[in-house]
Structure 1
Amino acid sequence: MSTVKEAVEVEVPLHTAYNQWTMFESFPHFMEGVEEVRQVDDRHNHWVTKIGGVKREFDTEIIDQLPDERIAWRTISGDTHQKGMVSFHPLDDTHTRVELVMDVEPSGMADKAADMTGMIDRRVKGDMRRFKEYIEKQGAEDGGWRGRIRPGD
């Protein structure tokens, strides 16, 4: 299993960065290889990705969500094995640090090669950079969900 970490500072208030991240269906706008994210309910999302010509579908479950602080998830179906957390830290009234930590378990030879060559790490760094560009260009979130999900709920 590999751990990928990346952080960006975005020029938007904390609540704006957090609210936008809860709009999972907008992820294809800034995440490379993500074709679709469909929010099934408050806790579950269905993902469709196409990376290196390989199409995958999998489901994730949010296991901890505290508004303006963090969102943690894990994969619950499919051949993609990951868990992660994104956290939000106010720097001042108009700047926020967004930190992403993901544990990824490569599931095939192509995934293992991508992991060994640093491709997964570069992809996450690019996704975070594109999130920064996306939210700063918009200047406001598309919406937001501010519910609380506790571990073990």
Structure 2
Amino acid sequence: MAEHSVSVTVQAPLHQVYELFTHFHDFPKYMRFVKEVTYYDDQRSHWVMQLLGRFEWDVVNEDWIPDKQIGWRSTRGLKNSGRVKFHALSPRRTEVGVYIYYMPPSGALGKIGESLGVNSYVDTALKTELIHFARMVEETPEGEMDPMQSHYLFHKDSSYARRDVTERQRKAMAQDPMMSPEALAEREKRVTQVKEERQRRLMQAGEQARLRQEREQKARVELLQRLEEERQNRLQAMGEEISNEPLESYPPHPVYDTLGGRHAGLDRTNFGDKDSLRPRYPWYTQDPMMSRLPQKEKDATRKSVEELYEESPWLTMIRGNRDICVLSDTPEVGGEANPGTSSS
């Protein structure tokens, strides 16, 4: 048993979506793969679909819940069953989910086909049919419960427009008063008028949007110009205020207001310029980097490092007394005897 499930969101109220879906005999007018849906009575119908081959079956309705669910079960032909569930997402948005269970044809060959990618193809076909249904509902005037009022019927991909419906479906349509030449001509005229009115409203809305955009742009430019004028006026007022302000004269500062910069008028030495604001210490001539630091007085009682140095007794014992010179009586091999000694 193969299983397939697809869903689509329709921009329409729940009750309208449910009622339009129950018109099975109108499926060939906007669906592509459904070639025939004819009624035996209000509970039984005959279906023909062209999808990876031609399949026919009779179904009986079951498990119908108004505005919630539609169910069916085949009684002859391709063995299948399914459910269509409706769920309101908002007052004007409805989710439609289709769940189909069927026995693949041709026994083992059908199962092999399912494993070779037929499942994905069937899912795509079901999704396409649901999208056609959503388009049909969304192009139906608000409050209408008959698919014949939809402007999406007989589109170029539908079975009816492709002249691909069965002979039985064609005869059933011929008996429908809504499918008479006069009714179809009246419908076409009405659809044309609605499309023209819709196009006119779209053009009018576009023109209004263009005018609104031009007004907003003009207002934006005027605002920028006004802000720029105010800024220029403020700058002009500030300039006039500064120019009208009387100049106050101050005596020149001996350090900061001299020609050439700070301390330009003061004497300079090899150790830097003399700071007239802070007196230098008397030892500034000794070290230019330490000229501002006070020099400590030398402590006469404190010994220097050289005076504090004292050689350790251990080092003296190892090195010996430097003041004693020991002369050797034994001459070196190959050398001469010490001139201070005599040989015996």
Coarse TM-score class (shorter-chain normalised): 0.7 to 0.9
Quick one: structure 1 residues 113 and 31, their matched pair in 2 at CA, closer, same or farther if it must change by over 3 Å? farther
After superposition, the Cα gap between the structure-2 partners of 1:107 and 1:67, relative to the gap in structure 1 and judged at 3 Å, is same
Compute the TM-score of the two structures, normalised by the length of structure 2: 0.38
The residue that corresponds to 1:141 in the other structure is 145
How many aligned residue pairs are there?
141
In structure 1, C-alpha distance between the alignment counterparts of 2:121 and 2:22, rounded to whole Å: 26
Q: TM (normalized to structure 1)?
A: 0.82
Q: Which amino acid aligns with 1:142?
A: D
**Deviation of residue 56 (structure 1)?**
3.0
Q: CA deviation at 1:106?
A: 0.9
Q: What is the match of residue 148 of structure 1?
A: none
Are the equivalent residues in 2 in contact too, given 1:2–1:115 (CA < 8 A)? no
What whole-Å deviation, never above 9, does each CA across 1:59-90 have from its counterpart, x for those lacking one?
01111111101011111101x12110001111
The one-letter amino acid paired with 1:76 is: T
The answer to whether the aligner puts 1:97 opposite 2:95 as a matched pair is: yes
Residue equivalent to 2:132: 130
Quote the residue 1:81 is aligned against. 79
Question: Which is bigger in relative contact order (C-alpha 8 A, separation at least 6)?
Answer: 1
Q: Tell me how far 1:100 sits from its aligned partner.
A: 0.9
Q: How far is the alpha carbon of 1:31 from its aligned partner? A: 3.2
Computed over aligned residues only, the root mean square deviation of the Cα atoms, in angstroms, reads 2.0
| In 2, Cα distance between equivalents of 1:87 and 1:103 | 14
Distance 1:116 1:43 in 2: 36
Which structure has more helix as a fraction of its residues? 2
Question: How many angstroms apart in 1 are the aligned matches of 2:71 and 2:116?
Answer: 25
SS in 2 for 1:138: coil
**In 2 relative to 1, CA 3–35 (structure 1 residues): closer, same or farther, beyond 3 Å?**
same
Q: Are the equivalent residues in 1 in contact too, given 2:57–2:79 (CA < 8 A)? A: no
Note the C-alpha offset of 1:30: 3.7
Q: Which residue of 1 aligns with 2:8?
A: 8
Q: Counterpart in 1 of 2:67?
A: 68
1:59 aligns with 2:51: no
Where in structure 2 are there 5+ consecutive unaligned residues?
148-344
Match of 2:122 among 104, 120, 126: 120
User: Which consecutive unaligned segments of at least 5 residues does structure 1 have?
Assistant: 144-153
Give CA-to-partner distance per residue, 1:87-127, whole Å, 9 cap, x none: 11111111111111111221124685267412111111111
Counterparts of 1:115 and 1:101, CA distance in 2? 19
